Amino acid sequence: MRRNIAVIGGDGIGPEVVAGAQAVLETAAPGALRFTAFDWGAERFLRDGVTLPADGLATMRQFDAILFGAVGDPRVPSNRHAAEILLGMRFGLDLYANVRPVRPLLERLCPLKVGGGKVDFVVVRENTEGPYVSMGGRFKPGSGDEVATETDINTYRGVERVQRYAFELARGRRRRLHLVDKANALIHAGALWRRVFAELQSQFPDVTARAMFVDAAAMQMVREPEQFDVIVTNNLFGDILTDLAAALQGGLGMAASGNLHPQREGAAPGGPGLFEPVHGSAPALAGKDQANPMGAMLSGAMMLDQLGMTAEAKRVEQAVTAALAAGECTADVGGTMGTRAVTEAVVRRL
């Protein structure tokens, strides 16, 4: 059965890295995927004012998965189009689990003295709530009396489903789960997250579960990352910690992610998974053939895996690893090649 994939390159280096990922996926799973490109991004927004088209979510629901680059363009300082497109899809398709694996493909990519061999964890970031829902406002803007509020939304339903997914994920791995929060200072949201965590712990007695404050977790991620197996955290902390975590695997150019709506019995159906590198649009690198496409390729591998093509996913990861080991990579991970040459190198190894 052919799978239909929507491709949204977006802005800056997004289209370049996504082209690399698409070439690799076409080679790894010949004839199995049909790609359809969408021009959503800053260029389109500046031309006709459209961010996420009115029928955009309905259109995306017709696909089996979405391959996404990045959005963000200096010509749109408000970042409005980026928020409406990316957050619009994460929220609108109810992709509540942002899953970010952290494992250096080669030991040398990890800057820590402990060595990359010990770093192997997954961050599950809540993806539909928190302070990213744009609830708040400004009073007396522009004046010396200006007041700004940004409300942090946490619902029982939202917290429970993402934590449950993390417990299930941990069950399939080394059975260790850390809840990362700031329950000592953000006491209301913290109380809800911890209550749910305690409830779920009793349902998953085989998973060793403990809570850690986010500041301590940031330190531990550098000092002793081998203690982590699965981390579940909120939208904001997950955003920040996974850039730190990306550095443990060779930098933003190597980090992959999937935005998922894990299906639950009786729950409302969500949209197709959206797979994207963790990095942004890196405007300074755009159009220079310098961006590392491996994070996008590995996001494509996550997509294959989620579509049930586990063998093909593994082959993509192996081909990327082999290219890296041979030094066939971009400058950020110690090579001298451009985006297109790296793509050809990985394709050749498939």
Which residues participate in catalysis according to the annotation?
A: 132, 182, 215, 239, 243
Least Cβ distance, residue 13 to ligand NAI (angstroms): 6
What DSSP line would sit under 159-180, residue for residue? HHHHHHHHHHHHHTTTSEEEEE
What DSSP line would sit under 206-255, residue for residue? TSEEEEEEHHHHHHHHHH-GGG-SEEEE-HHHHHHHHHHHHHHTTSGGG-
Number of Cβ within a 10 Å radius of residue 25: 27
| Helix, strand, coil percent values for the chain (each to nearest 5) | 45, 20, 35
Using the rule CB under 6 A, give the single segment among 91-99, 191-199, 272-280, 340-348 that binds ligand NAI: 272-280
Quick one: which of 7, 332, 343, 350 contacts ligand NAI (CB under 6 A)?
332
Could you say whether residue 60 binds ligand NAI (CB under 6 A)? no
CA distance 291 to 285: 6
CA distance 235 to 167: 17
Number of Cβ within a 10 Å radius of residue 340: 14
Residue 121: name the closest of 52, 175, 196 by CA. 175
What residue number has its CB nearest to Mg ion? 239
Residue 86 contact partner, candidates ligand NAI, Mg ion, none, CB within 5 to 8 A by sort of partner:
ligand NAI
Nearer to ligand NAI, 11 or 229 (CB): 11
Residue 239 contact partner, candidates ligand NAI, Mg ion, none, CB within 5 to 8 A by sort of partner:
Mg ion
Could you say whether residue 252 binds ligand NAI (CB under 6 A)? yes
Nearer to ligand NAI, 17 or 110 (CB): 17
Determine contact, residues 13/253, Cβ cutoff 8 Å: no
Using the rule CB under 5 A, give the single segment among 7-15, 89-97, 233-241, 248-256 that binds Mg ion: 233-241
Site residues (CB under 6 A) for ligand NAI, limited to 273-302: 276, 279-285, 291-292, 295
Site residues (CB under 6 A) for ligand NAI, limited to 78-107: 79, 82, 86
Determine contact, residues 159/266, Cβ cutoff 8 Å: no
CA distance 111 to 122: 18
Could you say whether residue 20 binds ligand NAI (CB under 6 A)? no
Quick one: which of 239, 276, 305, 328 contacts Mg ion (CB under 5 A)?
239
> What is the contact surface with Mg ion in residues (CB under 5 A)?
239
> What is the contact surface with ligand NAI in residues (CB under 6 A)?
13, 17, 70-72, 79, 82, 86, 252-253, 276, 279-285, 291-292, 295, 330, 332
